[in-house]
Chains A and B, each alone.
Chain A
Amino acid sequence: MIPSCKQTSLLLSQAQDRPLGLTDRLRLRVHLAICERCRRISAHFDFLRTAIQRYRDGD
């Protein structure tokens, strides 16, 4: 079952917070393979983490 974009976005977010199970990883991979919007969201979430840690650690 391919998750919707809304479910994928939530899974992408969770992937930042916990190790996903095999099923979720597969569902994510299948969805990302066909969805450019969610691939962008995935990159943006990664960027947010980099940015906030850079902001915290400063110059």
Chain B
Amino acid sequence: MTPSTTSPIEPAAIERERSYLLRYALLQLRNPAQAEDAVQETLLAALEGRDRFSGRSSLRTWLTGILKHKIIDHLRRSGRERPLNSADDDRSEADIVDALFADDGHWRGFPADWGSPAKALENSRFWSAFELCLQRLPARTAQAFTMREVMEMTTEDICQELGITSTNCWVMLHRARLTLRECLELTWFDGQPS
């Protein structure tokens, strides 16, 4: 028997990543109970399979990889149980995009100059505003958007998961960005000294 040079990961090290994983899961699932479940399943799977952790990536990266699968499982399950009503999303989103542009395709308003927005990232009140704006996105739009931005899935994978065409997917992501942008401009960047 060859002695192993790498020691197995300590359960405590896995446990230390719990809060990171929970924030990640909450961003995608929006349902605290489901997010807790996905994280719990991830930690269990990681403990059982910790011999398989090669150490080539960071522990966090490895755990996040497991969590992504658990999140997708939850999304599929809840999608089967109660499909999100995309008609609502399409209506409210079409409204918001249409409201932003004149009939000839020009902006109706003038997007504000956000100054040095990087400064906002250091402000805890900004993050409350950001959180609220994310929560205001219609459910299905938010799902596509976080799949792209949080889980970093390709649009091909997102289309497949949501059962939509790629054109539809790009339109949805565009609406998500414009909606989020509008919300941040209204609730944060408007009137902030830049």
Contacts and interface: CB of A to CB of B under 8 A. Distances in A.
A10 B171 contact: yes
B81 to A, nearest CB: 26
Contacts of A54: 121
Interface of A: 4-7, 9-10, 13-14, 16-18, 37-38, 40-41, 43-45, 47-58
B117 interface: yes
Interface stretch (B30-38, B39-47, B103-111): B103-111
B149 A5 contact: no
B127 interface: yes
A1 to B, nearest CB: 12
Contact of A43 (B114, B170, B174): B114
A54 B171 CA distance: 24
Given A9-B178, A41-B181, A56-B24, A51 B107 contact: no
Contact of B27 (A4, A13, A43, A55): A55
A14 B150 contact: no
A58 B19 CA distance: 10
A4 B104 contact: yes
Given A17-B170, A53-B149, A55-B27, A37 B111 contact: yes
Majority DSSP secondary structure for residues of A touching B? helix
Q: Which 8 A-B pairs have the closest CB atoms?
A: A4-B105, A13-B174, A6-B105, A40-B111, A6-B101, A52-B149, A47-B117, A37-B107
A38 B188 CA distance: 20
Given A5-B106, A43-B117, A58-B23, 19 more contacts: A4-B101, A4-B105, A4-B106, A5-B101, A9-B174, A16-B148, A17-B148, A37-B110, A38-B107, A40-B111, A44-B117, A45-B177, A48-B180, A49-B149, A50-B118, A51-B117, A52-B27, A52-B149, A58-B20
B187 interface: no
B130 A14 contact: no
A54 B120 CA distance: 11
A6 B113 CA distance: 19
Nearest to B169: A17
A56 B111 contact: no
